[in-house]
């Protein structure tokens, strides 16, 4: 189990995306058992909601400046120097999603080791996937990761992609409390996996697995991921019992608690289940 502090969830959103991409080993069957629950989940504060880097500003707010149209750069040297913090900004500075020259620069993991799994979707031949997927991206945020140049770069992106509007002193102090991992490999390949492959179940929310009896199959995976308010009690036969990793955004972590309470009476379970990943 990985304990996610609320603060960590901010940066772990990237992790979530790469969990999904990284462990698609072999033939992935996406069981969209039902779409009828989707509307129930809108209020969940799910991952997609949090992926808006910069919210649409209120067009009636005359104090919102125009200076932030797409392709805005806040200064001639938007990244500043390696010695000073970039000038304060927040999402209200922008009227549209800014595009930065460094939009597609990511911290890479110096310890990265390629997978030995022959059927891994990491080496899918799909050209779109190949273009987008960065196998050696840094997954875990840990102490020392907030140095001046990294702060300045990530300060240009709204939560959960970066630190825009956040307080450098507070964030750096928080990040520096996160111990360094001995291994940056997200999940160890099980020793019984002679082929070097990892099999995962990624279980969503909202009751789609009700009546599916997929619990045993989910539990037989090497790792079980659950996202948002994953209600298990009373639904083990359908959703399984094991949890290896819970994935939350800062938003869903708080929202889930509230909604879970609200929904206890309604007792809904799990929405989507992706197997053989």
Ligand X SMILES: *[C@@H]1O[C@H](CO)[C@@H](O)[C@H](O)[C@H]1NC(C)=O
Q: Which residue has the tokens 């996610």?
A: 4
Q: Where are the alpha helices (DSSP H) in 133-201?
A: 148-154, 168-175
Q: Which of 17, 28, 40, 64 binds ligand X (CB under 6 A)?
A: 64
Give the full edge-to-edge strand order of the sheet including 273-275: 29-31, 273-275, 200-203, 223-227, 245-247
The contact mask relative to ligand X for 222-261 (x = CB under 6 A, - = no) is ----------------------------------------
Q: Which of 36, 38, 88, 111 binds ligand X (CB under 6 A)?
A: 88
Phi, psi of 215 (to 5 degrees): -55, -45
Contacting ligand X within 92-131 (CB under 6 A): 92-93, 99, 107, 114-116, 118, 120, 123
When the beta carbons of 82 and 191 are compared against ligand X, the nearer one is: 82
Q: How far apart are the first and last CA of the chain?
A: 19
Does residue 84 belong to the site contacting ligand X (CB under 6 A)? no
* Beta strands at 223-227 and 200-203: parallel, antiparallel or unpaired: parallel
Q: Which of 126, 147, 188, 220 binds ligand X (CB under 6 A)?
A: 147
CB 90 within 8 A of CB 163: no
Site residues for ligand X per CB under 6 A: 58, 61, 63-65, 70-71, 74, 82, 88-90, 92-93, 99, 107, 114-116, 118, 120, 123, 147-150, 167, 169-170, 207, 210-211, 267-269
């Amino acid at each position: 189990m990985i304990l996610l502090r609320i603060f960590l969830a901010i940066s772990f959103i990237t992790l979530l995306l790469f969990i999904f991409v990284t462990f698609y080993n072999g033939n992935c069957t996406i069981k969209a058992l039902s779409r009828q629950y989707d509307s129930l989940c809108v209020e969940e504060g799910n991952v997609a909601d949090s992926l808006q880097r910069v919210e649409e500003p209120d067009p009636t707010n005359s104090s919102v400046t125009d200076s932030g149209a797409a392709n805005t750069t806040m200064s001639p040297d938007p990244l500043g120097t390696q010695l000073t913090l970039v000038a304060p900004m927040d999402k209200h500075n922008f009227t549209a999603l800014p595009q930065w020259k460094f939009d597609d620069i990511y911290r890479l993991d110096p310890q990265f080791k390629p997978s030995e799994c022959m059927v891994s979707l990491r080496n899918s031949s799909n050209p779109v996937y190949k273009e987008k997927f960065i196998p050696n991206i840094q997954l875990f945020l840990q102490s020392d990761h907030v140095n001046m140049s990294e702060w300045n770069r990530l300060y240009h992106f709204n939560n959960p992609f970066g630190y825009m509007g956040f307080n450098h002193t507070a964030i750096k102090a928080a990040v520096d409390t996160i111990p360094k991992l001995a291994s940056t490999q997200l999940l160890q390949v099980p020793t019984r996996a002679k082929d070097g492959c990892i099999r995962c179940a990624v279980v969503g929310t909202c009751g789609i697995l009700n009546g599916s009896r997929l619990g045993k199959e989910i539990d037989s995976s090497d790792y079980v991921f659950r996202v948002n308010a994953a209600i298990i009690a009373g639904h083990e036969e359908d959703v399984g019992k094991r949890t290896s990793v819970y994935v939350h955004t800062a938003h869903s972590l708080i929202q889930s608690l509230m909604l879970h309470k609200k929904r206890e009476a309604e007792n809904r379970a799990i929405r989507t289940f992706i197997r053989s990943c």
